Amino acid sequence: MKNTAFFDIIKYALHPLILLCVLTLWSLFPETPALYLLVMLGVQLVLGTLEYSIPARPDWVVHAKEKIAGVAMVIVLLMISIAVTLLYHTGLSASLAELRGSLHLDFWPHQWPLLVQLLMAFILSEFFWYGIHRAEHRWHPVWRLSGHGAHHSFKRLNALNFGLNHPLELFFLAIPPAIVELLFGVGSPAAGAAILMVTQASIVHANLDLSTKGVGLFFTTNRYHIRHHSIVMEESNTNYGCATILWDRVFGTFVDSDTTECGIGPTEPSLTQKLMMPVREPADTSVAPS
Ligand SMILES: [Zn+2]
């Protein structure tokens, strides 16, 4: 007999509970650089374990071999991502600080509670990502150049998909947090926002039955984001916010409905085809902009 109380706890409490734990941890250790990696690991372990025991879609459960290959890819991509972030910080730090001075953007409220500053950096960063992500789905050259189709190409999703992006897209993904941190001189709350974003990115790809009520008023839920991964173009062109659904609600691209099938076409491309997507798109792609 199924333990319905356990299912209900997971369904209604897991998402807010993870967010609460992560925000509490960051409040306690706001200056700990390793927290980003530790949180990412912890969240992946919790979600990954549950996806194997109580998956929302049992046919989406990946075999151990595939999961291990995915973990290896995410580790490599993560190292590239850190290098890209350092590159942006080294190259843009001085010029964006100068721009901040000339545009009189030195208004960041450093004296406000850290958690409020974190949420401000989170919302601001997500605003820039909303624009970039929507451009990827709107203009074909941006779609191709970013390799965003590779992220959409998976027929089955799980929490690990947060990090399975084309290497070229890492240069796009690193732009919003770098702009927010460097242009507005945010400091440690920007790192907290990055931790909240990676936590959300993991949850929204999870193959778990989670409730969208309450938490989904502000945060993106896996139901909303899985719709964005739909094989149907009209469904895919909604819910661009990966961490907060706020900007979709503001700009009219939010839709809440079920999704039956994910991917960019009837078949999932091979790893080589995914990597080649910026130069050669699979013939059966149905969600790429024209
Ligand atoms: Zn997308």
Q: Which amino acid is at 152?
A: H
- Residue 218 Cα to ligand 1 middle (Å): 19
Q: How many distinct helices (H) and strands (E) make up the chain?
A: 13, 0
| Between 7 and 263, the higher pLDDT residue | 263
Residues 259-268 have a mean pLDDT of 94
Q: Which residues pair with 147 in a beta bridge?
A: none
| Distance between Cα 45 and ligand 1 center (Å) | 25
Helix/strand/coil for 211: coil
As to burial, measured by CB atoms within 10 angstroms (0-12 exposed, 13-18 middle, 19+ buried), residue 178 is buried
Ligand 1: centre distance to CA 122 (Å):
19
Q: What is the pLDDT of residues 178-214, one digit of tens each?
A: 999 989 989 889 999 999 999 999 999 999 999 988 9
**How many other C-beta atoms can be found within 10 angstroms of the C-beta atom of residue 54?**
17
DSSP 244: B
Q: What is the pLDDT of residues 92-129, one digit of tens each?
A: 989 888 998 898 888 899 999 999 999 999 999 999 99
The string of pLDDT tens digits covering residues 207-237 is 999 998 899 999 999 999 999 999 999 999 9
Residue extents of the structural domains in the chain:
4-275
Please tell me the distance from the alpha carbon of residue 136 to that of residue 131, in angstroms, as a whole number.
Answer: 9
**What whole-number distance in Å separates Cα of residue 120 and Cα of residue 202?**
21
Give the whole-number percent of the chain exceeding pLDDT 90: 83
pLDDT at 5 over 90: no
3 CA → ligand 1 middle, Å = 35
Three-state secondary structure call for residue 109: coil
**pLDDT at residue 1 greater than cutoff 60:** no
Whether this model's pTM surpasses 0.85: yes
Give me ligand 1 centre to Cα 232, in Å: 12
> d(Cα 267, Cα 24) in Å, to the nearest integer?
42
151, 72 Cβ separation under 8 angstroms: no
| CA–CA gap between residue 232 and residue 282 (Å, rounded) | 16
Structure tokens at 138: 């709107």
pLDDT confidence tier of residue 284, bands split at 50, 70 and 90: confident
Tens digit of each residue's pLDDT (9 = 90 or more) over 23-67: 999 999 988 889 999 999 999 999 999 999 999 999 999 999 999
Nearest residue to 124 via CA among 180, 192, 170, 200 = 180
- Say which DSSP state 116 is in: H
- Taking the centre of ligand 1 as the mean of its atom positions, its distance from the CA of residue 231, in whole angstroms, is 11
- From the CA of 55, how far away is ligand 1's center (Å)? 23
**Residue 150 near residue 229 (C-beta atoms within 8 A):** no
Taken as a whole, the chain contains a residue count of: 290
**pLDDT tens readout for residues 129-158:** 999 999 999 999 999 999 999 999 999 999
CA of 242 to the centre of ligand 1 (A): 9
CA distance linking residue 193 with residue 180, whole number of Å: 10
**pLDDT at residue number 2:** 58
Calculate the average pLDDT of the chain: 94
Distance of CA 67 to the CA centre of its chain: 19
Q: What is the CA(193)–ligand 1 centre distance, in A?
A: 21
Q: Say if CB 206 and CB 2 are below 8 A apart.
A: no
Classified as helix, coil or strand, 180 is helix
282/245 Cα distance (integer angstroms): 30
Tell me, in angstroms, the distance from the centre of ligand 1 to residue 148's CA. Answer: 7
- Rounded-to-integer distance, Cα 236 and Cα 114, Å: 35
d(CA 147, CA 111): 40
d(CA 80, ligand 1 centre) in Å:
20
Among 211, 255, 202, 203, CA closest to 232? 255
